[in-house]
Chains A and B, each alone.
Chain A
Amino acid sequence: MTVRATEFLRRAGAPQHSLEDYAGCLPRWCTGCGDNAILAAVQKVCREEQLPPEKIVFVSGIGCSSRFPHYMGSYGFHGLHGRALPIAEGIKMRRPDLHVFVNTGDGDCCSIGAAHWVHATRYNMNMTVMMHDNNIYGLTKNQASPTSPRGTRSNTTPRGSLLEAFDPLQATLGFSNLSFVAQVPDWIPDLLFQVIHEAHKHRGFSFIRILQRCPEFQANRWEPCMQDPSSVLILTHENGVQLSPVLARAYKNHQEHDPADLVEARRIVGTSEQLPVGIIYRNPNVPCYEDMRKPDRLYTPEDVKNGLNAELDKFTIWPRD
């Protein structure tokens, strides 16, 4: 049986990382913002896994969600609006030793960066992607986002938005080469931790849609779900999230769902009256792009010289005798 390196170090009595080791700048999110809960859960996952802070990179786009890396004590890359995924791919490509996390928002991921999301899913590089979905553009001060429910009044839709909301789960379950999809609200800390933890442990592109509260611009968006636990359907599985007795008492709607079952995953997401929460789909057997493209060995300057010379040979005109 193999032992994970971090586990080995822990057993060997190596210095343990505490939650403080994963803390960066003091968060500047609004009071009551769901992002704070996500940050707490992520730091717990890092501690649980004892990830060396110098081996972690949080990559983000632009928006409230994307301030996330500043609040971590790891390496971070606060990039461009919509472009977190290709930046993260570039980081991961030749640095398999790094734990790569991506924080993105509904505008960042589903609107300006949507093309990258489709293809990042297909590349299936080993990273954990948290899409903080608050159904609104927050940092730019209250504009409708693709996931805003129809009728949302915002600065760009003063008489209510006209279009049906975009469903990120249905969309992602249609992408090719899918390997991990989950949904979880920010207000059930136990589940939030479990889902992020499972996503991190999954080898591949782990996409989590996190339903995130925005007290400023979508104050009542999730209120019905929070007030009425029966509006939530928790998907449990021995290989997925598990319900503690306390949660099981509060959340009566829960069902076994095998994350390997894509047809059932699509059925649940497409037809459920309740909000599905848990691991919706998981396939651990999808190959990772960085593995397919990794060098077959270590290349030294001598190798570069030889490789170059072999190519130059093809184009060389040698002096005739």
Chain B
Amino acid sequence: MSVARKKYATPVSKPAREIDEHIVEILSDSGEGAQKCGQSFGAISARLGYGIWTVEIIPAEIQPPARSVDGASGNRIRLANRRITNGGDKADLAVAFNEQVLLGRLRANELKPESIILLEDKWRHSDDPAIAESYVAVHADLLERGFAVHEVPMETECLKIVSDPRKGKNMFVLGLLSSIYSLDVEAAHDQIRFIFGKKGELVIAANQKLLDAGYQWAEDNLDIKFKIQATPPVEPNIVVNGNTALALGVMASGMEVCAMYPITPATSASHYLSDVFEKVGGVVHQAEDEIAAAAFAVGSSYAGKCAVTITSGPGYSLKQEVLGLAVMAEIPLVVIDVQRGGPSTGQPTKPEQGDLLTACFGSHGDAPKVVMAASDIEDCFYSVITARRIAEAFNTVVVLLSDSNLATAQQPFPRPEFCEEWLAPPIDQSPVDEDYLPYDWNARTGQRRRVIPGQPNGMHTLTGLAHDRRSGVAYNLQTNKEGIRYRSLKLAALQKTIKAPTVLGDDEGEMLVIGWGSTRGSIEEAVQRVRADGHRVSSMHIKILQPLASGIREIMQRFDKVLVVENNWADSMDDELIDEDNRRYSNLGWILRARCLVDIDCWGEVGEQPIKPGTVERVIRERLG
């Protein structure tokens, strides 16, 4: 083994073409390990100092039929010589374990016209004539269309090393990619040791052997070699997906209780938290339903243990009544909504930012809540900490929006340094004065001191009914109005502490593009591209969506046009029936128009994939006219 490792660690002299970036897709049937291959490729690249962003390609079913167009499972890795903030446009290279999964990506128009395709060739020799025929036809068609197709005998090569190639092909492919992108094989070996560490030396050795075989096969048979300049990191970085970052944020925030109910694509955050939360004294409670999860969290927060509930759109809807209670009774609560395609069951694994209006205006009656969104993986981590602090400082509900784009995407970010301020200060549990009022609303800010069960003299009954300062049921309109006013004032008090968002690019110009949440990377990249052509376009990202900071209107007024870009529905003015009187704007479009009285335009897309920078770029150019 050591001989083999030495051999591959030596840089191979085959000439490599210098490039700035490449987008790679690894596609297989479900269960063939393409995702593990992609994640490993991403992790190795990050370790070596490339900018990366990885996107999971997930079929809707756990085990979709083999060799099906819709069943592609895998990963997209965008690899670059600089920091990357999104999954990019079309892929430059695809590795496919069968031709059908590749067809799905081609139909979705996810590959560049002349991209490189590495195709498992075993299907050419299939005993099933229909399969062999399909393979041959697709292969010929790919060549015809100008793709650089390379057939790779993945299975044949893997069988030389392992008896079940389904369990090894992915590491063989990792070897192929290591050769193609001139990656250090030692780093790949380390990664294998990291992944299979618990499974013992035999498994590690077998997988390293598969990797070496893939590497060598590429060296011997492929005339493709790229070199992307890496900037080896000088500081430690974290590589996790958005959901893991959320869970780490929950740990770091000092919250003790997470109550949840399984729902895609939020659940993996709770999976991870279930595994590790107890190590910091926390507990994940899987409730019997979404309502119970929210109610459990409210109970826990009420008793002094600030809680989080993690869900996705349909679950978020179910929690609305409980959120109304938390607002009314002024109980701190963090609600994380990892959005997915909607409405209804919608597209559970696909990205969408369709819950913003529900987050801001959901529940019933006047139910002011704080709403914020995470924009990248690092932001997922820090946003939870901020959400908890706001929730406790203002005794209110804070909704943190993420989405399925961030949930499964990976991007390295600087390793957080724990800071004790992240934890809310312990609640003062000393006896309160005899004349204590549970709702001693501050006349200016609406804030109050919260007393929790166990504190002598603080006894009162908290209620979802309209109540007075003693928490007694309010039977008159005036008392009800007072409570509503103070709960609303708290948002204004918070708003006074929020800074106006910054503008990327010039402070004035032809167009301002506004976005929120996970589309930030694509929007900013698109804006940079059009700016490179001399257009005076800037972008602005809004992190806290309710309450909105002051100054947004003034920024917008300095631009000829304002365009909101979101991953949710907006009617197109090109549709015959749509006009200014009936057009339904995108989520943030509605909010900004109402808030700022500026006639802003919007563009929204609901699709299978995160919004691409190229798409935003096209829209900007169209709207610039």
Given A70-B473, A94-B303, are A310 and B279 neighbors across the interface (CB < 8 Å)? yes
Query: Would you list which residues of chain A between 37 and 91 have a CB under 8 Å from chain B?
Result: 52-59, 69-70, 72-80, 83, 85-91
Query: Would you list which residues of chain B between 206 and 260 have a CB under 8 Å from chain A?
Result: 232-240, 244, 248, 251-252, 254, 256-257, 259
Chain A residue at minimum C-beta to C-beta distance from B465: A78
Query: Which one, B410-418, B490-498, B499-507, B566-574, is touching chain A?
Result: B410-418
What chain A residues lie within 8 Å of B288 (beta carbons)?
A: 86, 115-116, 118-119
What chain B residues lie within 8 Å of A94 (beta carbons)?
A: 256-257, 283, 300, 303, 305
Given A79-B464, A83-B292, A93-B283, are A304 and B252 neighbors across the interface (CB < 8 Å)? yes
What chain B residues lie within 8 Å of A307 (beta carbons)?
A: 251, 276, 279-281
B residues contacting the other copy or chain, number (CB 8 A): 69
Instruction: Give the distance to chain B from A252, nearest Cβ to Cβ, in Å.
Output: 42
- Other-chain residue from A59, A304, A317 in contact with B239 (beta carbon distance below 8 A): A317
Inter-chain contact B322/A80, CB cutoff 8 Å: yes
Chain B 388-425, CB-CB to A under 8 Å as 1, else 0, gives: 00000000000000000000000010011010100100
Inter-chain contact A70/B295, CB cutoff 8 Å: no
Inter-chain contact B302/A80, CB cutoff 8 Å: no
What chain B residues lie within 8 Å of A250 (beta carbons)?
A: none
Give Cα distance in the complex from A49 to B252, angstroms: 40
Chain A residue at minimum C-beta to C-beta distance from B249: A308
Chain B residue at minimum C-beta to C-beta distance from A294: B283
Chain A 173-213, CB-CB to B under 8 Å as 1, else 0, gives: 00000000000000000000000000000000000000000
Kindly state whether residue B343 has any CB partner on chain A within 8 Å: no
Kindly state whether residue B514 has any CB partner on chain A within 8 Å: no
Given A75-B453, A315-B239, are A301 and B420 neighbors across the interface (CB < 8 Å)? yes
Kindly state whether residue B455 has any CB partner on chain A within 8 Å: yes
Kindly state whether residue B372 has any CB partner on chain A within 8 Å: no
Kindly state whether residue A95 has any CB partner on chain B within 8 Å: yes
- Other-chain residue from A91, A116, A118 in contact with B300 (beta carbon distance below 8 A): A91
Inter-chain contact B244/A87, CB cutoff 8 Å: no
Given A94-B283, A303-B281, A308-B251, are A78 and B461 neighbors across the interface (CB < 8 Å)? yes
Inter-chain contact B236/A78, CB cutoff 8 Å: no
Inter-chain contact B287/A320, CB cutoff 8 Å: no
Instruction: Give the distance to chain A from B596, nearest Cβ to Cβ, in Å.
Output: 36
A residues contacting the other copy or chain, number (CB 8 A): 61
Kindly state whether residue B289 has any CB partner on chain A within 8 Å: yes
What chain A residues lie within 8 Å of B299 (beta carbons)?
A: 59, 77, 86-93
What chain A residues lie within 8 Å of B254 (beta carbons)?
A: 301, 304
Chain B residue at minimum C-beta to C-beta distance from A77: B462
Kindly state whether residue B325 has any CB partner on chain A within 8 Å: yes
Kindly state whether residue A309 has any CB partner on chain B within 8 Å: yes
Give Cα distance in the complex from A27 to B239, angstroms: 59
- Other-chain residue from B235, B279, B298, B463 in contact with A311 (beta carbon distance below 8 A): B279
Kindly state whether residue B614 has any CB partner on chain A within 8 Å: no
Give Cα distance in the complex from A94 to B462, angstroms: 19
Give Cα distance in the complex from A52 to B455, angstroms: 10
Given A79-B464, A312-B415, A315-B238, are A53 and B459 neighbors across the interface (CB < 8 Å)? yes
Instruction: Give the distance to chain A from B384, nearest Cβ to Cβ, in Å.
Output: 12
Kindly state whether residue A4 has any CB partner on chain B within 8 Å: no
Instruction: Give the distance to chain B from A67, nearest Cβ to Cβ, in Å.
Output: 9
Instruction: Give the distance to chain B from A59, nearest Cβ to Cβ, in Å.
Output: 7
Given A78-B465, A116-B288, are A319 and B325 neighbors across the interface (CB < 8 Å)? no
Inter-chain contact A311/B276, CB cutoff 8 Å: yes
Inter-chain contact A98/B303, CB cutoff 8 Å: yes
Inter-chain contact B278/A90, CB cutoff 8 Å: no
Instruction: Give the distance to chain B from A248, nearest Cβ to Cβ, in Å.
Output: 39
What chain A residues lie within 8 Å of B458 (beta carbons)?
A: 54, 75
Give Cα distance in the complex from A310 to B275, angstroms: 13
Give Cα distance in the complex from A69 to B252, angstroms: 36
What chain B residues lie within 8 Å of A69 (beta carbons)?
A: 461
What chain B residues lie within 8 Å of A85 (beta carbons)?
A: 292
Inter-chain contact A308/B303, CB cutoff 8 Å: no
Given A54-B457, A80-B325, A118-B288, are A315 and B257 neighbors across the interface (CB < 8 Å)? no
Kindly state whether residue A227 has any CB partner on chain B within 8 Å: no
Kindly state whether residue B296 has any CB partner on chain A within 8 Å: yes
Kindly state whether residue B472 has any CB partner on chain A within 8 Å: yes
What chain A residues lie within 8 Å of B456 (beta carbons)?
A: 52, 54
Query: Would you list which residues of chain A between 295 and 321 have a CB under 8 Å from chain B?
Result: 295-299, 301, 303-305, 307-312, 315-320
Query: Would you list which residues of chain B between 293 and 311 have a CB under 8 Å from chain A?
Result: 293, 295-305, 307
In order of increasing CB-CB distance, the 6 nearest A-B pairs are A90-B299, A299-B281, A76-B461, A307-B280, A86-B295, A90-B300
17 further contact pairs, Cβ within 8 A, besides A118-B288, A320-B232? A55-B453, A58-B461, A70-B473, A77-B462, A79-B298, A80-B464, A89-B292, A91-B300, A93-B296, A93-B303, A95-B303, A95-B304, A301-B254, A308-B418, A312-B238, A316-B415, A317-B46
Chain B residues with a Cβ under 8 A of chain A: 43, 46-47, 232-240, 244, 248, 251-252, 254, 256-257, 259, 276, 278-281, 283, 285, 287-289, 291-293, 295-305, 307, 321-322, 325, 412, 415-416, 418, 420, 423, 453-465, 472-473
What are 6 contact pairs spanning A and B, CB under 8 A? A77-B461, A90-B285, A90-B296, A95-B453, A299-B280, A319-B232
